[in-house]
Amino acid sequence: MTPTRFRLDRQVTLAVVVTLAIQAGGGLIWAGRASARIDELQRRVEGQGEVAQRLARLEGQVEAARASLERLERRLETGDRR
């Protein structure tokens, strides 16, 4: 028995080529959308640094206001009228 050579018809080859082209197009579209999402996330992360600094300053101001309020409450409780 001699081995038979693998052979494809033109119709099958054309169908495979069309399928691969469609899949490649879909893959490129998916990659483009993924890249756009990653770019958006990077912009958000870069903006969060400024927000974190502002939040830290606000926390410091709230702590100072809380300490001042506690001093005022102690003075009112003790009757100290300085």
Q: How far is CA 39 from CA 27, 35, 52, in A?
A: 18, 6, 20
- Contacts of 75 by beta carbon, 8 Å cutoff, 6+ apart: 81, 82
What per-residue confidence (pLDDT) applies to 8?
64
What per-residue confidence (pLDDT) applies to 33?
96
What per-residue confidence (pLDDT) applies to 1?
59
d(CA 47, CA 74) in angstroms, rounded, equals 41
Question: What's this model's pTM, rounded to 2 decimal places?
Answer: 0.47
82 residues of the chain, pLDDT tens digit each: 567 787 766 666 788 889 999 999 999 999 999 999 999 999 988 888 888 889 999 999 999 999 999 999 999 888 766 6
What per-residue confidence (pLDDT) applies to 19?
92
